[in-house]
Chains A and B, each alone.
Chain A
Amino acid sequence: MSLNALPLKIPDVTVRVLSYIRGALSVKTLEGVASVVAFVALWQAAVFVQVPYISNLPYPADVWNSFAEAVRTENYWISWAASLKRIFVSFLVAQALFMGMSRSFKQILFPVFEIVRPIPPIAWIPLAILFWPTEELSIYALTFIGPFFVIVLNVMQGVASIDVSLKRAALSLGARRIDIFWKIMLPGALPSILTGMTVGIGVAWNVLIAAEMIAGHTGLGRMTWEAYTNGNIPLIIVGMASIGLAGYLCSGVVRFIGQRCMPWKNRF
């Protein structure tokens, strides 16, 4: 008997929780769980039978214990906070700055942009450290540069891809320049802007971790590096996993915002 056919009235929340559980038990989820379990089992086996090179790895259980220990220390969470703060500050600055300058951007700055763009963000590290007065500012600057180019390119591509007949239709209907910008260009470019942000946040994490390892005193990258210098292999893996998780969460946030901003995209 299906849930809806039950004679008594079930509170909305209960129905939602039940359907969530039902969803969680779907074949797809089970496959996912099985895949993770298999991975851990393989890892355990590889260390146990002393596969060359891999045998230096700790057992999954050691990593888990190290993780359980780490989450109880303040330092671990300070690392999280430091990294997240850097990501969000730099990332928001990258967005805001570009939005502000997009109009005159193409004519004046694009040639310079094209010369500077191929330089990998990590190659900026020495200059950033020398150039900025504090370590923290250097890290912000680096984390800003990484996603900046990706986002700019995507915004430009998004604007260029808007169908000319949409602009024409809007003009015919009496739209002024400002209407065209807010009601046609911005929503029209939004899918590309969000693609840029999704890719950009990944790049931001890449650069941030490198910058923290070289120039930082706090953050998840620093934590992982310190674990390396102390020879604490389980903690290295905990650091890596934490960075992965942080990146995943950030992409999730960007995707969520994207879906919220583009209701026309996910209704069919």
Chain B
Amino acid sequence: MQRAGSKSADQYRLLDVAGVTKYFGEDRERQVCLENCSFGIAPGKLSIVMGPSGCGKTTLINLIAGYEFPDSGSIMLEGTSVSGPGSDRLVVFQESALFPWMTVYGNVVFGCKVKGLSQKETRERAKQILSKVGLYEFRERYPSQLSGGMQRRAELARALINDPKLMILDEPFRGLDAMTKELMQEFYLKLFEETTLTTLFVTHELEEAIFMADSLVLLTHKPGRVKEILDIDLPRPRHFSMMAGKQYFDLYGYAMGLLAEESRRAFDAGSLPALDAISDPI
């Protein structure tokens, strides 16, 4: 196991989060949500942000996606400061954010349509991407007619069709049953390993994190700071059998130690969500 502080990541970064601080609330009730957060994401890597519930993971996502802006520090994508939402960084949300009034096809081509792509090209790309996620036969269905796993795949397709530089997944498999979740993890890993699409993945489940990530950014409990960045050097392609190996266990044990420290702090601070942060990964 290599310990990679922020120093070792001298290589080119696709996304650079530098000294980001974000407050919530006004004046006296102001709370620090993220404090001096810095980390980078190398292109073609799958990075995972982890931390106890309420550590500002979702805020971080909102900042990177451009829905909110940092109070200090900067977020750069390929050297350009993030100034608002854009299809170069696409988010798959925690809860399904498919448009309920559009069919799967309508959802997937939304980005192409609003950008004024030609009908022919749109149709071809949609067909290709829908086949890839295995939803071509279901293209005329509405989201409410799909299973949870299918909804997530539709959402992935809606993002992938725009060729984003960075995929952001905010606890995308939360709320799926265990079996579907495993299948989706496998599905996304396969997709990632085929395309090496740079991915920022947020989760609060350590197993999922170590199984999928190239690098693991651990955040502290309130305010969110970067506690440590771990390189996960398990070989790719990943397979579930690796979760029984020594390397996995060492990483897991080490990360668990760090995480438990934070979860305990959260628990002592009286944060209710911290309860499931402690119990969930075990």
Q: Which of B88-96, B125-133, B226-234, B267-275 binds A? A: B88-96
Does B97 make an interface contact (CB < 8 A)?
yes
In the complex formed, the residue of A with least CB distance to B88 is A172
User: Interface stretch among A64-72, A104-112, A144-152, A161-169?
Assistant: A161-169
* Residues of A with C-beta under 8 A to B66: 172
* Chain B residues in 8 Å Cβ range of A174: 86-87, 111, 114-115, 162
* Tally of chain A residues near chain B (CB < 8 A): 23
Which residues of chain B (105-149) have a CB below 8 Å from chain A? 110-111, 114-115, 142-145
B67 within 8 A of A: yes
Q: Which residues of B lie under 8 Å from residue A268 when comparing CB positions?
A: 144-145
Would you call A173 and B114 a contact (CB within 8 A)? yes
Which chain A residues lie closer than 8 Å to B144 at the CB level? Answer: 264, 267-268
**B114 adjacent to A172 (CB under 8 Å):** no
Find B100's partner among A172, A176, A183, A264 (CB 8 Å cutoff): A264
Contact of A168 with B158 at beta-carbon distance under 8 Å, contacts A173-B87, A173-B110, A174-B115 already known: no
Chain A residues within 8 Å of B65, by CB:
168, 172
Find out whether the CB atom of A168 lies under 8 angstroms from the CB atom of B145.
no
Neighbouring A residues of B110 by C-beta, 8 Å: 170, 173, 175, 183
B85 interface hit (Cβ, 8 Å): yes
Restricting to A150-203, which residues have a CB under 8 Å from any CB of B? 163, 165-166, 168-176, 179, 183-184, 187-188, 190
Please, how many angstroms separate the alpha-carbon atoms of A184 and B89 in the complex? 20
* A264/B101 contact (C-beta < 8 A), A168-B67, A168-B91 known: yes
**How far apart are the CA atoms of A171 and B67 in the complex, in Å?**
9
Chain B residues closer than 8 Å to A184, beta-carbon distance: 99
Contact yes or no, A264 B142, CB < 8 A: yes
Question: Which residues of chain B are within 8 angstroms of A163 by Cβ–Cβ distance?
Answer: 95, 97
B91, A267: Cβ atoms closer than 8 Å: no
The reply to whether B114 and A190 form a contact with Cβ atoms under 8 Å apart is no
Candidate in A168, A174, A188, A268 with the most chain B CB atoms within 10 angstroms: A174
Whether the pair B145, A267 counts as a contact (CB closer than 8 A) is: yes
**Do B85 and A171 touch across chains, with their CB atoms under 8 A apart?**
yes
Cα of A190 to Cα of B67 in the assembled complex, Å: 25
- Shortest C-beta distance, B220 to chain A (Å), equals 26
A235 CA / B9 CA spacing, docked (Å): 89
In the complex, which residue of chain B has the Cβ closest to the Cβ of A169? B97
Assembly CA distance A37 to B87 (angstroms): 64
Contact A168 B99 (CB under 8 A): no
Q: A262: CB under 8 A from chain B?
A: yes
Output the least CB separation between B17 and chain A (Å): 18
A171 to B68, CA, bound (A): 13
CA distance A84 to B87 in the complex (A): 50
Residues of B within 8 A of A263 (CB): 142
| Contact call A168/B97, Cβ cutoff below 8 A | yes
Specify which chain A residues have a CB less than 8 angstroms from the CB of B145 in the assembled complex: 267-268
Contact in complex: B111, A187 (CB < 8 Å)? no
Chain B residue numbers with a CB within 8 Å of A173 are: 87, 90, 110-111, 114, 158, 162
Q: Which chain A residues lie closer than 8 Å to B100 at the CB level?
A: 264
Of B90, B102, B114, the residue contacting A176 (CB under 8 A) is B114
What are the residues of chain B within 8 A of A190 when measuring CB–CB? 101
Q: How far is the CB of A59 from chain B (nearest CB, A)?
A: 52
Find out whether the CB atom of B114 lies under 8 angstroms from the CB atom of A169: no
User: How far, in whole Å, are A172 and B100 apart by their CA atoms in the complex?
Assistant: 17
Kindly provide the distance from the CB of B93 to the nearest chain A CB, expressed in whole angstroms.
5
A residues 247-268 touching B (CB-CB < 8 Å): 262-264, 267-268
Cβ contacts under 8 Å, A188 to chain B? 101
CB distance from A192 to the nearest CB of B (A): 13
Q: How far is it, in angstroms, between the C-alpha of A264 and the C-alpha of B99 when the chains are bound?
A: 10
| 8 A-B pairs with least C-beta separation | A173-B111, A187-B101, A171-B85, A264-B142, A165-B97, A169-B97, A172-B85, A175-B114
The contact sample of 15 A-B pairs, CB cut-off 8 A, is A165-B95, A169-B93, A169-B99, A171-B67, A172-B89, A173-B87, A173-B110, A173-B162, A175-B110, A175-B114, A176-B114, A183-B110, A183-B114, A264-B102, A264-B143
B interface with A by C-beta (< 8 Å): 65-67, 84-87, 89-91, 93, 95, 97, 99-102, 110-111, 114-115, 142-145, 158, 162
Known contacts A163-B97, A166-B99, A170-B99; can you find 13 more A-B pairs with CB under 8 A? Answer: A165-B93, A165-B95, A169-B99, A171-B84, A172-B66, A172-B87, A172-B90, A173-B110, A176-B114, A183-B99, A264-B143, A264-B144, A268-B144
